[in-house]
Amino acid sequence: MNLTDLTFEIYIGAEPEAVWNVFVSEEGTKAIFFGSALQSTFEIGAPYQYVGPGNDGDETVHVYGKVLEFEPNKRMSYTEHPGPSYRENHAELETRVTMTLDKVGDCTKLTLVNDQWPENHPSYENTKASWPMILSNVKSYVETGKTLNFGW
């Protein structure tokens, strides 16, 4: 089955710097990614991983990959693999995530594209459902300082 690119656009009532900070700071990533912190030097080619509570305890690697682009307050792109505890063949399940921030009036337009899906990727449907929740959390957190309660 051919999998289509996942593309999302959302407008956030804040400056691009505030939105960016949520994606790269430990406090921000823990808030929007359900307790997981982003670990990386953010240099092009450097590894990154989201680590937090999960299948393997408090140090579960949820996703990992390498940084492809990193232009602060503008654009970030990286490869993404599911964590080892989620899929035995995690190393071969690579997609790409690209996030772009554009100032629009007093708002920031956040465009997120998750593409380059290999055929029959087992996490596609879950990812398709998760990104809107994560991006809604970003918007809520940046605008109010609070995340959403999804009842989990």
Q: Which letter, b or e, does each residue of 124-142 get, where b requires 16 or more Cβ atoms within 10 Å of its Cβ?
A: beebeeebeeebebbbbbb
Are 12 and 138 a contacting pair, CB within 8 Å? yes
Q: Is the pTM of this model over 0.85?
A: yes
Domain encompassing residue 35: 6-144
Q: How far apart are CA 129 and CA 13, in angstroms?
A: 23
123 inside domain = yes
How many structural domains compose the chain?
A: 1
114 inside domain = yes
Could you read off the pLDDT tens digit of each residue along the chain, which spans 152 residues? 568 999 999 999 999 999 999 999 999 999 998 889 999 999 999 999 999 998 888 899 999 999 999 999 999 999 999 999 888 999 999 999 999 999 999 999 999 999 999 988 999 999 999 999 999 999 999 999 999 988 86
Q: What sign has the CA pseudo-torsion 116, 134, 61, 49?
A: positive
93 inside domain = yes
